[in-house]
C-alpha cells in the first residue's frame, strides 16, 4: 500500500529537482517558461514553483506560464480563462497562444498538436532567452517507453524522456519524472488546487490514452513500483546512450566531408552497426526525424549502387541522396522566384540551402540560373549555358534548377554555389563583395 503523500515535501522535492537541472546548464536562462495546460500536473508544478519563488533563499528565474490554445475542444476558451485566473491568484506572468493544428494525411492529430505546441513554446523561449519547464511525470515516462517498444525503437527511443534536453537550442527541463500521477493528484487535492480535465484524455483512439486508461492500471495493480522501475531503466539507458554518443561522434567526424556530407568510402570502412549509428547521428544533427529500420537499410544500399547512378531515399520532409561518392541530406526546396536583395543583410532564400550576404552598393536582385541563357565567368573568354557550367562545377543534379544568380542593374554578376561564389564578367569593376554565411553543423 502506498504511503500518504505530504504536499509540502513534494513541492520542495520538485523545486530542488528543478534547481539541480538548472545548475547543470552551461548558460542559465533569464526566464522559466512553464507549459501550462491547466491539468493537475502543470498546475501542481506551477504552484510549487510559485511558492518556492516567494519563500526560498535560492530564488528561481522569473516564471512565465504559457497556455497553448489548439482550438480542438469547445472548452478551450474556458480552460484558458481558468489558467489565467490561476496565474493571477499567484502573481505569475501569463500568456495564451493560439496555434493552428492542420489535419495532415498519415499523421496523427495527437502528434501534429504536440508539434504545434512545442513550436509555439520554443518560439517564446528563444525570444525571452528562457528554458522550457514541462510537467511530464513518471506515468508519462512509462507511457513514452511503452509506446517506443510498440514502435520497435532502439536505445534512444527506449530511453524515453531525459530530465534535461535541448530542442532548437532551447533547454527543456522535466523536474517531475520521478513523481507519479497519483502522488500529484493526492497532493493537489490536499492543497485544494483546482485543475481542468481534458475530455480528450479519455478518448481510447489515442494510443497514449489507451495505455493510460486500460493497460497501466492493470500493470500497477499487480506491480505497484512498476513506474519507478521503468524510470530507473530509462535513466540507465540515457547514461549508456551518452557514452555511445561519444564514440559515435568520433566515427562521424572521421566520416564527414567539409561540406557536411558523408564520405561513402569512409562509411563503408566501418562495420554495419557503426554505419547505421553514424548515419543516425548525422541525421540527428540535422534535426530531422529518424528513418525507420527499412529506410536505413535502403540508405546503406544506395552506397553500393552503380557509380553513374544517383539513388535517393525519401523520408518525412527530407531525402538522403548518394552523389559523387558522398551521402547528401537534402530538403524540399521552394520553387525559385526572382526577388530583390538588400546589401548588408544575410539572405536565406527559401529555394537555396546556403545563405549569403552582399557588402557594398548596387541595385541587386536574385534569379534562378536556368532563367539565364549563357553565363560568362570573370576572366574567362568562353560563355556557356548554365547546365554546362554546373557539370563542370559538379553541382548536384537536384540543385541545378535552383542555383541563384545575383543580378546588378540587369546584369548577372555572380553565381551562388553551396561552397563558393563564382563571379561573372559583369562584376569586373564591382564595388562590392559577396560572401557565403557559415551554416556548418555543430561538432
Q: Which residues are annotated as a binding site for ATP?
A: 37-42
**Total Cβ atoms within 10 A of residue 254:** 13
Torsion of CA 229, 235, 236, 237, to 10 degrees: 110
Backbone angles phi, psi at 262, to 5 degrees: -110, 135
Nearest Cα to Cα of residue 60 among 137, 142, 175: 175
DSSP 131-163: EEE---BHHHHHHHHHHHHHHT--HHHHT---S
Question: Alpha helix locations (H) across 223-374?
Answer: 226-255, 264-268, 272-285, 293-302
Please compute, for residue 426, the number of CA atoms within 13 A of its CA located in the half-sphere on the CB side: 15
**Total Cβ atoms within 10 A of residue 107:** 12
Q: Which residues pair with 356 in a beta bridge?
A: 347, 436
Q: Is 3 exposed, middle or buried (0-12, 13-18, 19+ CB in 10 A)?
A: exposed
Residues belonging to the binding site are 37-42
**Total Cβ atoms within 10 A of residue 345:** 9
Amino acid at each position: 500500500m502506498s504511503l500518504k503523500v505530504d504536499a509540502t515535501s513534494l513541492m520542495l522535492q520538485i523545486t530542488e529537482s528543478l534547481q539541480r537541472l538548472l545548475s547543470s546548464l552551461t548558460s542559465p536562462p533569464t526566464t522559466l517558461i512553464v507549459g501550462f495546460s491547466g491539468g493537475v500536473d502543470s498546475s501542481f508544478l506551477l504552484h510549487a514553483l510559485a511558492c518556492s519563488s516567494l519563500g526560498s533563499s535560492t530564488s528561481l528565474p522569473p516564471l512565465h506560464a504559457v497556455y497553448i490554445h489548439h482550438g480542438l475542444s469547445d472548452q478551450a476558451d474556458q480552460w484558458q480563462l481558468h489558467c489565467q485566473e490561476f496565474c493571477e491568484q499567484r502573481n505569475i506572468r501569463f500568456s495564451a497562444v493560439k496555434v493552428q493544428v492542420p489535419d495532415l494525411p498519415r499523421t496523427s492529430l495527437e502528434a501534429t498538436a504536440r508539434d504545434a505546441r512545442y513550436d509555439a513554446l520554443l518560439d517564446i523561449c528563444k525570444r525571452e532567452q528562457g528554458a522550457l519547464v514541462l510537467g511530464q511525470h513518471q506515468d508519462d515516462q512509462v507511457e513514452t517507453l511503452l509506446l517506443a517498444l510498440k514502435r520497435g525503437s532502439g536505445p534512444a527511443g527506449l530511453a524515453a524522456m531525459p530530465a534535461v534536453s535541448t530542442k532548437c537550442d532551447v533547454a527543456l527541463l522535466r523536474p517531475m519524472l520521478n513523481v507519479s500521477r497519483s502522488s500529484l493528484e493526492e497532493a493537489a487535492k490536499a492543497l485544494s488546487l483546482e485543475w481542468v480535465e481534458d475530455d480528450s484524455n479519455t478518448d481510447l483512439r489515442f494510443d497514449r490514452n489507451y495505455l493510460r486508461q486500460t493497460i497501466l492500471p492493470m500493470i500497477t495493480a499487480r506491480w505497484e513500483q512498476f513506474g519507478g522501475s521503468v524510470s530507473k531503466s530509462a535513466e540507465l539507458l540515457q547514461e549508456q546512450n551518452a557514452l555511445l554518443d561519444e564514440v559515435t561522434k568520433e566515427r562521424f567526424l572521421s566520416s564527414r566531408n567539409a561540406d557536411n556530407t558523408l564520405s561513402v568510402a569512409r562509411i563503408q570502412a566501418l562495420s554495419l552497426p557503426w554505419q547505421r549509428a553514424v548515419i543516425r547521428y548525422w541525421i540527428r544533427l540535422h534535426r530531422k526525424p529518424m528513418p525507420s529500420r527499412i529506410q536505413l537499410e535502403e540508405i546503406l544500399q544506395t552506397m553500393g549502387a552503380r557509380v553513374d547512378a544517383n539513388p535517393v531515399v525519401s523520408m518525412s520532409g527530407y531525402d538522403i541522396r548518394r552523389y559523387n561518392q558522398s551521402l547528401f541530406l537534402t530538403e524540399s526546396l521552394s520553387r525559385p522566384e526572382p526577388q530583390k536583395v538588400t546589401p548588408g543583410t544575410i539572405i536565406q532564400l527559401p529555394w537555396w540551402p546556403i545563405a549569403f550576404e552582399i557588402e557594398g552598393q548596387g541595385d541587386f536582385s536574385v534569379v534562378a540560373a536556368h532563367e539565364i541563357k549563357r553565363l560568362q565567368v570573370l576572366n574567362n573568354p568562353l560563355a556557356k549555358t548554365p547546365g554546362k557550367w554546373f557539370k563542370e562545377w559538379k553541382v548536384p543534379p537536384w540543385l541545378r534548377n535552383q542555383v541563384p544568380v545575383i543580378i546588378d542593374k540587369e546584369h548577372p554578376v555572380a553565381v551562388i554555389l553551396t561552397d563558393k561564389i563564382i563571379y561573372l564578367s559583369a562584376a569586373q569593376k564591382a564595388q562590392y563583395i559577396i560572401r557565403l554565411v557559415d551554416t556548418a553543423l555543430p561538432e
